[in-house]
Structure 1
Amino acid sequence: MKYIIMLGDGMADEPLNELGGMTPLEYAKTETIDALAKKSEIGMAHTIPEGMSPGSDTANLAVLGYDPKIYYTGRSPLEALSIGVDMKETDVALRCNLVTLSEEEGIPYEERTIIDHSSDEISTEDAAVLLDAVREVMEDEIYKFYVGTSYRHLLIWDGGHVVELEPPHDHLGQIIGGFLPEDEVLRSMMEKSYDILENHPVNIERRKKGLKPANSCWFWGAGTRPALTSFEDKTKLKGAMISAVDLLKGIAVGAGMKNIVVEGANGGLHTNYEGKAAAAADALLKEGNDFVYIHLEAPDEMGHQGSVERKVQAIENMDSRLIKPLVAQLDASGEDYRLLVMPDHPTPICIRTHSSNPVPFMIYDSRKDLNKSWKYNEKEAAQSGNIVIEEGYKLIDRLLSE
């Protein structure tokens, strides 16, 4: 038996007037998922424990079977694992986004507005050049910068302490003054980064191309070194992760899972869907893995952008360009498999950030035909009369149970 989790990050949403009162998941043309749903069980799961922030960090830990209340020590330390940073006990890791702030002349830094948390999904190559410029001015023995992927980078604070910091994607379109760090050094570093980056040649060139400049660092997600139980020890399954996002790669490192790198996978709408499908099939059928976790970032990014059309497209791409070819290869192999399709959390278009609402799940077993009439979406999963998983980290037990 093989097991797959297909995680559409932020895929769940709220009904939208633009879609006739449907959610993007309801509205999207998902022929493969709809066909599988009729043979599957569907239901709802709470992936965000009460009192915890609705982030991809806590939610993906839960989906993988790790109780966030036990294992979560912050988002950035997980990303540090992915980058290969060996954190000391005294280190605190912080996410360093390269963001786009408004560029009005003559106003203080704190009066600027946050325009884009991803600087138009800046390439890693451009971001590395900009981070080098920041490092040259601000790095010392206490604060060290590390290049991650796209807009997502890392600051390690030696001897630091975990401080409350605001995620930039929670405050798009807002003036930043009320969301800056209380820590004077971190706040000063963010302000200085704007002076360094505003007129950097990379940003001058980006403006000429009609792209948003990556003109400021933004620190958030502070935490200490994590310690996850081995996934194989916990489940007796050999597992692999397929993701373009450092957070998920870091979770895989911490859990002792194999990270599979797919060329052209970038965390955006135009990622390599087919490459992820092929890599998952190879991992299961040729490389001896029992379990594959496929993470797709695109629906979440489109939710943060507030783009209804692009979020629908991301879901349709997942269905036709990832799930369809993967299922075809698995069916052709004759291997029995169980497939869990779900989001980690909602990223509703109306708020452009995450919510803690429960999410729909679908579990398909290639050996069974449950002969249902439902489709997979938020509304029908909630109305199915099926179970509601209150502790989301226990849902994987339902997938793995025979």
Structure 2
Amino acid sequence: MNTMQVLYNFQDKRIKHYRMKNMRYIQHLAVVCMTAWGITALFAACNADKQAKTEENVRQLLPDAPAEVTVIPLKTVDFEHELVSNGKISARTVAEVKFQTSEIIADVFVANGDRVTKGQRIAALETYALNNKLEQAKDALERSKLEMHDVLIGQGYKLDNLSAVPDEVMRLAKIKSGFNNAQTNYSMADYDLKQATLVAPVNGIVANLFAKPKTLSKPSEVFCNIIDTQSLEVVFTVLENELGFVRKGDNVKVVPYSMPDIEIKGRVSEINPWVNENGMVQIKATVSYHPQLVEGMNVRVSAFRSVGKQWVVPKTAVVLRTGKQVVFTVVDGKAVWNYVQTGLENATEYTVTGETLKEGDPVIVTGNINLAHESPVKVIQDEKNKE
């Protein structure tokens, strides 16, 4: 075999080798393409199925009928701002009743919660020692009087004409005889005997009575309190930055926490012009009489003050959409949302401002929880014609 024949055979083998290699590459590429096409088809089928399910769910969520809502016309009205605080009931008159001497308590005529009138007996001490003290003081007074007369007679004055004695001479005679001191002791003994019977200084209810008969009275301690429940007030505090919303004469509403069904009206009577270390200002308001109000009762206080003409809507009219406050109005059977800003508030209402709102717009106040912009709605009750 010559050289040319060898080269030809070698080249022929190389060509066959490359052809076989290309064929394997083409086959591999075909397998990859088929696999990719299959995966793509599978994803397409899944997406189509998901889209179909989503569309079905959306169709299920969307209401078949317009949402039923109630509306009120947007109007400018006098808004009453409400300031809420905690307070305590206090009687404007609380009398402290105490004995003046330390003696055994003979009788107690009343109990806590009893209503008493001015001058009514409350309790009495045993008076044996007090009567003896008064008698001794009376005797000492008589003896000092005799000594004073002796002094005057010694200076040439007659007892049947004491008016002729000069004032300075009389003064010195009383001092020398001890008459002034004896008279003071007698007056004090008489006073102690009279104070042995405690009487109510005012009309009211007995409170904090803990002493019992046959025990020793303590002049340093209050025997009981008499609370005038006909003149009650509530004491509460407001923040320094809320002080501008409270004025003397403003109306208040008081609700005891223990009896939330009771509402008592009152009026601001006093504003203490002092901000304490906690940034609070103390305010007092007189309240109407109620038989179930007692001294120290914890209450919720609402102070009301008119702040002039405002757009006012119920709190239920304001909802959140995309994190912003929205009020829905009805336009051609559809709910149209309007971005608003709320200002002052009370227990049930907001003042609002909004660029797209205008006087008289029908504002949706119920049925707006799940509304979207331009959702179809049906007005079932117009609140302005509710009555």
For the superposition of Structure 1 and Structure 2, which TM-score range results when normalised by the shorter chain? under 0.3
More helix by share: 1
Query: What is the TM-score of this pair, normalised by structure 2?
Result: 0.18
Looking at both structures, which has the greater relative contact order when contacts are Cα pairs under 8 Å and sequence separation is at least 6? 1
The answer to which structure has the higher strand fraction is: 2
